[in-house]
Structure 1
Amino acid sequence: MSKAYDLEERLISFAADVVLVFDKPAKTYASKYYAEQLIRSSGSVSLNFSEFAGAGTEKDKINKLRIALKEIKECNNNLRIQLKAGLGDVKYLKKLQDEAEQIVRILVAIINKR
């Protein structure tokens, strides 16, 4: 199994974990708003990374990686907002935030090596 495949599976798992945590009726407008946005951005990370693997040119590959990086940073900021606003279970939010931060570091390392 290649490293790219391992990261792809990790990104899929992150997006799926977000769905599992947030796919329930929201209690407030804010919790619904941030949950929906987090589901979209976490899925986008995974989808753009999979496009990176199939991109034809190096420029296109870097572009897909940068989009994935932008989206995972959005996930991280979203989770920080939810934590500060008390919009969810702290344990699950912190677990997702930790994973998002690790993914940011991984994507930055991949981009810097290219």
Structure 2
Amino acid sequence: MLNQYKIIENNSKTEFAEAFRKRTKKFVVDNIKFFRTLPKTEEAKIIGRQLLRSSSSVGANYRAACRARSQAEFHAKLSIVVEEADESVFWMEILVEAEVVKPNELDYLSDEANQILKIAAASRKTVSAKKY
């Protein structure tokens, strides 16, 4: 019975990891599409590029976390995901507060960045509790 539970638990973790990998990749693609809609001003280009860098790092580092060779490496990559998701939120806030874009233009992306941030931070906390 215990082995069956382990298999179910592992499948559940694998399914979650795959779904979250796809979600972070979509986040990158959505940010690329948003970048294309930005005004052609110098400040929009600069801040937009910063957002592109941080959001693409979210997807790339979660993908790397999924390939981690150890708990410590997984924790390190997940920490980068947390940091870069938070930075993405920051750049989105700057775009709105500097009135480069209207708040409603970033509602979806901002919400998604915050959700990814919360999920990655909770996962990191779980891994930390396991004392890798």
Given the two structures, how large is their TM-score scaled by the length of structure 1? 0.93
**Which structure 1 segments of 5+ residues have no match?**
none
Distance 1:24 1:98 in 2: 18
Displacement of 1:88 after TM fit?
A: 1.8
Instruction: Provide the secondary structure at the position in 2 that maps to 1:74.
Output: helix
What is the alpha-carbon root mean square deviation over aligned residues? 1.4
Query: Letter of the aligned partner of 1:95 in structure 2?
Result: Y
Name which one, 1 or 2, has greater alpha-carbon Rg. Answer: 2
Q: Which residue of 2 aligns with 1:95?
A: 108
Q: How is 1:28-67 mapped onto 2 (pairs within 5 angstroms)?
A: 28-67=41-80
Given the two structures, how large is their TM-score scaled by the length of structure 2? 0.81
- Count of residue pairs the alignment pairs up: 114
Runs of 4+ in 1 over 4 A off after TM superposition: none
| Cα displacement string for residues 36-58 of structure 1 (whole angstroms, at most 9, x for unaligned residues) | 11111111110000100111111
Distance 1:41 1:47 in 2: 10
Identity of aligned residues (%): 29
**Which structure 2 segments of 5+ residues have no match?**
1-13, 128-132
Partner of residue 27 from structure 1, selected from 17, 22, 40: 40
Q: Is the Cα contact below 8 Å between 2:61 and 2:77 reproduced in 1?
A: yes
Q: Which residue of 2 aligns with 1:7?
A: 20
